[in-house]
Amino acid sequence: MVTQVTSLSRNGISDWYIQRLSSYVMAAYVVFLVGFVLATEALTFEVWSTLFDQTWMQLATLVTLLATCAHAWIGMWTVGTDYLRSRTMGAGGDRLRGLYQVVCGLLLVAYVLWGIKILWGN
């Protein structure tokens, strides 16, 4: 039996709600960006830079980045627990799943830190 130690929450229903909420956040962000691009006559670097220099847009981008990472973690955790297990992979399945989850977690942390550097870095 797979334990929920590395799941985002300790409940499958909570993970489901987190994934749904994060998908709504991502969809709203994309709809806003598409609307902005379509409504802007001349999309220059200055216009784009001005949009992303505003604090509300930086916060919206950060929230969307965190929602994307939460969404991705739940999906990757599900794939790892469904397909990388000792019953199907032999004796090394649990170790492989652990390594897979560590690599996925480190990548997501790196993406968040990189996103923060892009949004508020010099």
Query: In the chain, where are the structural domains located?
Result: 12-120
Among 67, 69, 77, smallest CA distance to 109 is for 69
Contact residues for 15 (Cβ-Cβ < 8 A; gap 6+) = 7, 8, 9, 74
Looking at residue 96, its pLDDT comes to 83
Residue 93, amino acid:
G
What's the CA gap between 34 and 32, in Å, rounded?
6
Instruction: Average the pLDDT over 57-79 and give the result.
Output: 95
Q: Are 80 and 104 in contact (CB under 8 A)?
A: yes
The domain made up of 12-120 has a fold known as: 3 helical TM bundles of succinate and fumarate reductases (1.20.1300)
pLDDT digits (tens, 9 = 90+) for 18-33: 999 999 999 999 999 9
